[in-house]
Chain A
């Protein structure tokens, strides 16, 4: 039998006093057997080394003057960091192995040289791989490739970046047939799915060996029981930040995770207000200027910081050994995400990570409890998977043509080897290919402007070099929301806010951004000019899509907690009291059915009828449900006025009280109403814009200059309207609907719920609001209220003005947003 580790690797481990982990040796064995491998292991388990070890050994034993191993990470910064960590062992063992990174930041000259004479190990991102594959010399560059390593595979596999990567890997398999694949992943609910993702034969993934690392020590997770009054609603947890601050003082370095950028700004402000000890507390989120983020990361790496308040921008990334506490402010939303975040503390496998959960309101206490139980039971969220996007496919087809002529049947076969596209129908493929070639319109108006033409062998190739240039400057699947820059007057650039938020500002308004109180002065060419402010009632920028919905898995656990009265005894007192009151005034939501409460509310003479449904299916599903319920109530003559949705509950109010709840929640609501609403909704318009950008119909950037998100928006909208009217079955509209149904509206979740609750709806008519309904009613003033279409809203605005002009004294133009004295 072969020695587990050859010279000089065995010595290198020995001089460090390390024994190789079992999974590191397993990875080596898989490589020696010529098999691909998926390694699932927690942080701190030497995962990256396990991935590279077989390549280093192979290169030491059989040097080759060509690209041997390609490493792909979702983060540029991670690729750079891993390369730095790779140089250590290579130098210490005196190996003649070259490694380099290649990202968007790599200078042009170096990138050209890398194609001419590549290093043996190249570390890059999915987008840079797509670019490399689009060059005419891709076949030569990758001819001797032996191994591709995909890091943080769990974070990539099910998003569009992962679809692009899967297609790139399928291409690589054709260019370098013997190449092995290695996936590195955190714990996931369904390892078999990732195994298949990594396979070259996803329908029957026999070529991938699954290797599970040893689990780390069980994390110590505490839920903060505040001594302050526990709020009924809200997400900022400001009440508990004094207690959070006390914890920060007791630890060396803490990561304070929040769910949204708005929360990050508020928590950061509040912690600094309390910061009498002058702790070094920093802020990190995706809208801050890149240089600012890099500075924070570097200070963190040096160990200069006591705490960083961060959003998911730090969920992945470089390991910081110094972190000894992770705090999650607000509900965790899913157990996988919580586990990932907790894993950011203490990178030694045998010591427990320490974490503190800080619920912001009563429902969040239940959610935190559910999440902790899930983590203890090692039970992770199983999320439905999305089929490969047709927009991404279009981009890949054009990229493939950029590299050289292709045969369309062979390309189809190759694409079917990519896991997300394993069930791609021939007709969808042909339609996508047609779209790339000539726009794919029934009206064949663009034959003379074709992007792809066929040569005498019937192979497809690009019609002009201009298409290649355009492809290269728009590669990738990350589409930015329209944003505006924020700059201090006569000073530096602070970051970007979404146009949506900026539109609500008038000069003189104060807002919090980048941890500072700012005054909006003026708008100049896509830049908000601001000044530091000393006072004012600030707004906090809101970001679309900043909030993840509650996972199905946690929702189930929350419902079970509510039903199990015996388990309430170790809840905080305020929560026990709240639930007991509910038990007395109404009933608790059942674990398997649906509780619907109806009650009147409002000033005498202007009473509204309320309906509150405890669905626990997450905001996205609830918003869709709200649109459908109001349409139905309209037809039934209940006169719906609006609705508001949270992760847990939906509340609808109307002129007349709903009597037949069973009919209202019937499964058949997911029919025509849904189609009609989706087609008109702004959500679908946003989705279309993303699809159109990724598919290359409209551009985010045109070669050389950045096209601002603003310009993209208006044209996408007009194109959407025209296309919908003249060619409703166009491939891009189908791709848009597929995207929307998959994630944004959570229609799958809704339909599962409607099936689950059938015959099990418990309708409880009440005289007044129940304790459990109080939080959602408090949201009405804060959340956007839905229910009215554009023209009705415009009319409301116009009528309000008319009344102002005619000095009419209306008691309340907006009764549904009236006061709720609670």
Chain B
């Protein structure tokens, strides 16, 4: 039964956007295997210390966690190019607060891959001294990468910004997690950063961007799961 289904249904971590086959990784990164390219959104580096400035002393390990996750995913897929599609730094002074060990880790990452920082609303001008180059948006073949989805649906658009989350109900339990969302034309990535919360994909701010419906790739603890819009709950 299930093997018959497997012939029809692609593996749950695959997704085709504007003709390009992509992999949604459990980390929240989206990989374009043909180009050894990885896209991540909303790293929000130094979000923890941004709270600490105002007296809320959250554990100072968020940047370290996020950079570690980046490195692991890069190694897993032998990635050559990385595009961070906005809100990579939590605020404009975030880079100044990086501790020395994290500075080294970040420089090592940008040094090993072709690295692009796309501007976001939290980091309208990402710092230029960490390696990599800065861009407003980026077009790669059939895909266009920008921070926030444009209201007029551009085919092949990959964006972040909304931190999408989805929930399903199984056996009276509500299970929720970060997710990627797509209708085959455009796609929104989950937030990659360690301290980033989320917004339900059923919220009109997100679902209005997909008038013809959508699918999500929900990030579980160790695997990625595919669900259509109809299977989701608030």
Q: Which residues of A contact B (CB under 8 A)?
A: 435, 438-439, 441, 443, 445-446, 449, 451, 464, 466-467, 470, 500, 502-506, 523, 697-699, 711, 714-715, 718-719, 721-723, 725-727, 730, 784-785, 788-791, 793-799, 801-803, 805-806, 808, 810, 814, 817
Contact = CB atoms under 8 A, between A and B. Distances in A.
Contact of B55 (A464, A500, A503): A464
A798 B171 CA distance: 12
A715 B195 contact: yes
A522 to B, nearest CB: 11
Interface in B189-227: 194-198, 218, 220-223, 225-227
A547 to B, nearest CB: 16
Interface in B70-125: 99
B202 to A, nearest CB: 9
A503 B220 contact: no
A439 B58 CA distance: 7
B175 A794 contact: yes
A640 to B, nearest CB: 15
Contact of B49 (A438, A445, A697, A719): A445
Contact of A801 (B49, B220, B228, B234): B228
A791 B55 CA distance: 37
B194 A449 contact: no
Q: Is the interface of A mostly helix, strand, loop or mixed?
A: helix
Contact of B221 (A467, A789, A817): A789
B33 interface: no
Interface stretch (B1-9, B130-138, B144-152): B1-9
Interface residues of B, number: 48
Contacts of A500: 174
Contacts, number: 147
B65 interface: yes
A422 B9 CA distance: 63
A179 to B, nearest CB: 34
B57 A451 contact: yes
Nearest to B172: A784
A726 B52 CA distance: 18
A505 B234 CA distance: 8
Given A443-B60, A718-B194, A726-B64, 8 more contacts: A441-B61, A467-B55, A500-B174, A502-B234, A722-B194, A723-B59, A725-B65, A808-B5
A797 to B, nearest CB: 4
In the A-B complex, list the 4 residue pairs whose CB atoms are closest, starting with the nearest: A439-B57, A445-B60, A714-B197, A726-B61
Nearest to B7: A806
A504 B223 CA distance: 24
A722 B48 CA distance: 11
Contacts of B171: 784-785, 788, 793, 796, 814, 817
B59 A726 contact: yes
A466 B194 CA distance: 27
A588 B55 CA distance: 60
A802 B57 contact: no
B174 A504 contact: yes
Given A445-B99, A504-B169, A789-B221, A798 B226 contact: yes
Interface of B: 1-2, 4-5, 8-9, 12, 49, 52-62, 64-65, 99, 167-175, 194-198, 218, 220-223, 225-228, 231, 233-234
> Which of the listed residues B4, B55, B168 has the most CB atoms from chain A within 10 Å of its own CB?
B55
A682 to B, nearest CB: 9
A466 B223 CA distance: 43
B210 to A, nearest CB: 19
Nearest to B173: A793
Contacts of B53: 449
B168 A794 contact: yes
Contacts of A796: 170-171
B226 A466 contact: no
B93 to A, nearest CB: 13
Contacts of A502: 234
Nearest to A810: B1
Contacts of B4: 806, 808
B57 A794 contact: no
Contact of A723 (B61, B64, B225, B234): B61
Nearest to A782: B172
Contacts of A504: 169, 172, 174, 233
Contact of B227 (A503, A506, A721, A801): A801
B195 A722 contact: yes
B231 A791 contact: no
Given A439-B57, A503-B174, A722-B194, A791 B5 contact: no
Contacts of A451: 55, 57
B57 A438 contact: yes
A719 B62 CA distance: 9
Contacts of B175: 790, 793-794, 797
A377 B196 CA distance: 57
A697 B57 contact: yes
Nearest to A793: B170
Given A449-B55, A790-B175, A722 B62 contact: yes
Contact of B58 (A443, A719, A799, A817): A719
23 contacts: A435-B57, A443-B60, A445-B49, A446-B52, A466-B54, A503-B234, A504-B174, A506-B234, A698-B58, A714-B197, A719-B58, A719-B195, A785-B171, A785-B172, A791-B220, A791-B221, A791-B222, A794-B225, A795-B223, A795-B225, A796-B170, A803-B1, A808-B4
